[in-house]
Amino acid sequence: MKALIAVLPGDGIGPEVTIEAVACLKAIATRFGHDFTFEEAPVGAVAIETLGDPLPAATLALARRAHAVLFGAIGSPRYADPTLKVRPEQAILGLRRELDLYANLRPVTCFDAVIDASPLKPELLKGVDIMVVRELTGGIYFGEKTRTETRATDLCVYTVTEVERIARLGGKLAQSRGNKLTSVDKANVLETSRLWRSVVTRIMQTEFPSVALDHMYIDAASMHLLRRPADFDVVITENMFGDILTDEASMLPGSLGLCPSASLGAGTSGIYEPIHGSAPDIAGQGIANPYATILSAALLLRYSLGLETEAKTLEAAVVSALTAGVRTADLKPRGPAATTQHAGRAVIERL
Ligand code: IPM
Ligand code: MG
């Protein structure tokens, strides 16, 4: 198959991990006889500094034209000043909104080979395989914002349509997995959550009656995720809760460096990115974990290109590298660790 893949490496460790994921996609193309073209464009702090815009028009145009977008990370301590009007994060938020990628799939899988990397007890982690669906283009992230000298507001808005499409996706995913859906909200306090809960209940009762539905408050969900993670299957939640809950969930596999994501909309295009950030503290040292980005590339093969066998092959190669003990420093606090490049090569050797 022929496909154009937009590569937006971004800031910090973004470029280092993206290079490895692109190399893996090239190896997949060779092995399975595909014709992938890669086109790179600046985004984030690097784009502000070279072109004055975190999301330059040419970058957005490339993202629209491509079959899928492979994204590294954005963010820089140079933009920590809270009074700044132009910030790197505007790029990823703008891309999600412009491409209408309203659903963010964040699989959280515990790999047996690195179970010791988690701060949690191994007996809690056996068989943990959660699919979090985070709503991505609504809620407090995108509502009206105001700020004066003495007061600031962020409006949280959800419409029935926005909740319905997440509920349907959650229902479909649950049917293809363990038939269990947990919807996370804060319906005891927030009006948007009460709307969320009633819409999810209606959609599940009418369209997915065989899926077991459970509602949980975000505070309780944060606790149960650590206390009994194996009980979760598919989780749906609003934008900000999903952002926070998935960083917490990354401690189940043991590192943000093992957590990929896919941002999807109504069509087949999507943005594929690790859930970790730009990690400026370790950028440029060649020690970042590339597995989350490589696993995101596998999701790209699966969801945007419909290449399930290729996706599974890439995922299996990552598991095999982990099993062979190829661990970057985040997975190996003591002793010599694999470099970013070493980990990427280990995956390619196994393809
Ligand atoms: C994420 C990130 C982003 C978000 C930031 C960089 C805007 O934390 O993808 O989880 O909050 O969505
Ligand atoms: Mg986040």
The catalytic position among 154, 180, 243, 332 is 243
State how far the Cα of 158 lies from the Cα of 236, in Å rounded to an integer.
Answer: 14
* Closest CA to ligand 1's atom 4: 243
Residue 333: per-residue pLDDT: 81
Question: Are 68 and 1 contacting, i.e. CB atoms less than 8 angstroms apart?
Answer: no
Share of the chain above pLDDT 90, in %: 99
pLDDT at 138 over 90: yes
Work out which ligand 1 atom sits closest to the CA atom of 104: 9
Q: Do the domain assignments include residue 300? A: yes
* Domain match, 320 and 244 both: no
Q: What is the mean pLDDT of residues 155-175?
A: 98
pLDDT on residue 27: 98
CATH number reported for the structural domain that contains residue 214 in this entry: 3.40.50.2300
- Which domain range does residue 336 map to? 1-109+259-351
231: annotated active-site residue: no
141 catalytically annotated:
yes
Check which CATH number belongs to the domain holding 94 and give it.
Answer: 3.40.718.10
Q: 236 and 305: one domain?
A: no
SS3 state of residue 212: strand
pLDDT one-digit tens code per residue, 14-26: 999 999 999 999 9
Mean pLDDT over 106-118 rounds to 96
pLDDT tens by residue, 254-282: 999 999 999 999 999 999 999 999 999 99
Residue 243 among the catalytic residues? yes
Instruction: State whether the beta carbon of 44 lies less than 6 angstroms from ligand 1.
Output: no
- Distance (angstroms) between ligand 2 centre and the Cα of 296 equals 15
Q: Report whether 230 contacts 124 (CB < 8 A).
A: yes
Do 228 and 286 lie in a common domain?
no
CA distances from 150 to 141, 146, 281 (A): 21, 11, 33
Closest-approaching ligand to the CA atom of 274: 1
